[in-house]
Chains A and B, each alone.
Chain A
Amino acid sequence: MSTSFHPLTFWSIFTALAVGVVLSDSAISAFLALGGAAWIVYRFRGDGPWRNSFKWSLIAGLYLIAIRALAGIVIGVPRLGDTLFTLPRIQLPSWMPGIRIGGPVTWERLSFSLHEGLIIATVIALFGAANSVTSPRKLLRVMPSRIYQLAVTLTIATSVFPQLISSITRIRQAQYLRSGRRPRVSQVAIPLLEESLGRAVALAESMEAKGFGLSKVQSRYRPITYSSRDLIYIVAGFIFSGAMVAL
């Protein structure tokens, strides 16, 4: 199912949602957007290593909220309101002047930190969701042809990367078997570098022979196009986002 979407469909939906959340600046719309994102991710997420991005971005968001809350409590500038509790004051050395630690913590102070944290965490999670449902390889295939050479560079890199990872394992094992010790980073890095450079030389030659860079315009094999389903989803995403701002 997920394979037939245009790679930019979900990116536009989630970008619209993120804009909506920031503009509306309300916790309710943040939770609504997160709910929508969770549903889309549950429904359409891919099968590569990027599929867990949403999960990781949620965790990152929670951390961020925690840091904010902690910073708000420990080193926050006081806000007037109901005092929840009071922390003891700590005096810092003289070379870090003007910074107070501790003091009374109010409910207003804490909720302000939490609210700001929530909005940002939501934005992060929305982009995480977009990553989860879009294959990076397909994303590269719809890069504008103006940056064709950069897109090819990244295509090469994504193709070679897993092979280099298995080369690392192979070199490590060979070194380990020779010396009986865990190899040092440089013992692995240098053979890996040599191997990579050898590949780069061979690859450059093969690309040159195939006529890379000769034509200023390139065509696209099996181009990815928008379907009506893509459009329906995008429109729905924009309406959802607009509604959040309006309400």
Chain B
Amino acid sequence: MKVFRVVAISALIPSTLLGFIWPFLVSSDEAANWASWFFFASTTFTVLLLISLIASDDLGSKNVAFLGILSALVAALRPLGIGAIGIEPMWFALILAARVMGPTFGFLLGALSMLLSALLTGGIGPWLGYQVFAAAVIGFGTALIPLNIRGRAEIFALALYGAIAAEVFGIMMDLQFWPWALGTETELSYLAGAPIAENLNRFFSYHFLSALAWDIPRAIITVILILIAGKPALNALRRARHRAAFVTEVEFKELANVRSNHR
């Protein structure tokens, strides 16, 4: 069972990624048309399967309660932003929570926060898989930050990660949206069968236009929030993690031992 899960997860990740990068790989217009609809449908399934496999380990009441409430919190922070959709304080909460609770928790938190947003606003559809996966990747990616750094260094590392994450999310969303927004046959569209360098050039030209509007404000807000509120937020999360005793040490002793050890 364990082996099956590992194999399944390692098969699902590349097939999900294919959903993002197929425009670089298709060789003809016909294949492109087919691929666009196929991945439109399949990505949601692979992502949901991935989440359920990763969560299929018995999560336990602590993880379920924390995931449920923190994903509500992340979703609740979305409208706290200032006007534009690009400026979302949610990334700040997701990154800090993932940092404290670990990458697997971060993966699920990212995914569930997006799912919840969609559930609440009636935004369920094939496009959802892409957003869910991108947010999950950002939660999981906090594993890149070394565990042992603390204090200022930690805040700066998180802020740097926040900026990168905002950009990565932007790239992933644009990869999804690129073929749909422009279709084929424009100067910035993907060109089936063209060399990857040519398509990358086209993609980043397209991405550059959208990044100005969305990614840069998102990155700035995330970095500022982490710098300002990172310390108290990390502190709150660590204290709660401690209070909830995620790593419970349960011991039963005879009376005499307790007294001699601790009095």
Q: Do the two chains touch directly in the complex (Cβ atoms below 8 Å apart)?
A: yes
Contact A50 B232 (CB under 8 A): no
* Docked pose: A185 CA to B61 CA in angstroms: 30
| Binary interface encoding of chain A residues 184-195 relative to chain B, with 1 for a CB under 8 A from any of its CBs, else 0 | 111011101110
Given A113-B183, A131-B122, A212-B61, A157 contacting B69 (CB threshold 8 A)? yes
Among B62, B185, B232, the residue within 8 A (CB) of A204 is B62
Give the size range of B's interface with the partner: 35 or more
Comparing B3-11, B50-58, B254-262, the segment that makes contact with chain A is B50-58
Given A68-B183, A200-B244, A50 contacting B69 (CB threshold 8 A)? no
| Binary interface encoding of chain A residues 159-174 relative to chain B, with 1 for a CB under 8 A from any of its CBs, else 0 | 0110011001000000
Among A52, A161, A184, the residue within 8 A (CB) of B122 is A52
Given A49-B120, A193-B93, A157 contacting B182 (CB threshold 8 A)? no
By CB atoms of chain B within 10 A, which of A123, A128, A150, A168 has the most? A150
Contact B187 A203 (CB under 8 A): no
Nearest B-chain residue to A137, judged by Cβ? B119
Contact B236 A168 (CB under 8 A): no
* Docked pose: A52 CA to B120 CA in angstroms: 12
Inside 8 A of B77's CB, which chain A residues have their CB?
189, 192
State the interface size on chain A (CB cutoff 8 A).
Answer: 76
Whole-angstrom distance from the CB of A162 to the nearest CB of chain B?
9
Contact B188 A71 (CB under 8 A): yes
Q: Which of B172-193 contact A (CB under 8 A)?
A: 180-189
A246 at the interface (CB under 8 A from B): no
Contact B71 A153 (CB under 8 A): yes
Inside 8 A of A116's CB, which chain B residues have their CB?
183-184
Inside 8 A of B116's CB, which chain A residues have their CB?
154, 157-158, 161
Contact B51 A204 (CB under 8 A): no
B14 at the interface (CB under 8 A from A): no
Given A154-B112, A188-B80, A201-B244, A127 contacting B205 (CB threshold 8 A)? no
Among B52, B205, B243, the residue within 8 A (CB) of A150 is B52
Contact B120 A75 (CB under 8 A): no
A43 at the interface (CB under 8 A from B): no
Contact B121 A49 (CB under 8 A): yes
Contact A186 B229 (CB under 8 A): yes
**Contact sample, A vs B, 30 pairs, CB 8 Å cutoff:** A49-B120, A49-B122, A53-B123, A56-B122, A71-B188, A76-B185, A77-B185, A77-B189, A96-B208, A97-B201, A98-B198, A98-B201, A100-B187, A113-B183, A120-B180, A136-B119, A149-B64, A152-B64, A155-B68, A156-B68, A157-B72, A157-B116, A160-B68, A161-B76, A189-B225, A190-B229, A193-B237, A197-B240, A207-B64, A213-B58
A residues with CB within 8 A of B: 22, 49-53, 56, 64, 67-68, 71-72, 75-77, 79, 96-101, 109, 112-113, 116-117, 120, 123-124, 127-128, 130-132, 136, 139-140, 146-147, 149-150, 152-158, 160-161, 164-165, 168, 184-186, 188-190, 192-194, 196-201, 203-205, 207-208, 212-213
B residues with CB within 8 A of A: 37, 51-52, 55-56, 58-62, 64-73, 75-77, 80, 89, 92-93, 112, 115-116, 119-127, 180-189, 198, 201-202, 205, 208, 225, 228-229, 232-233, 236-237, 239-240, 243-244
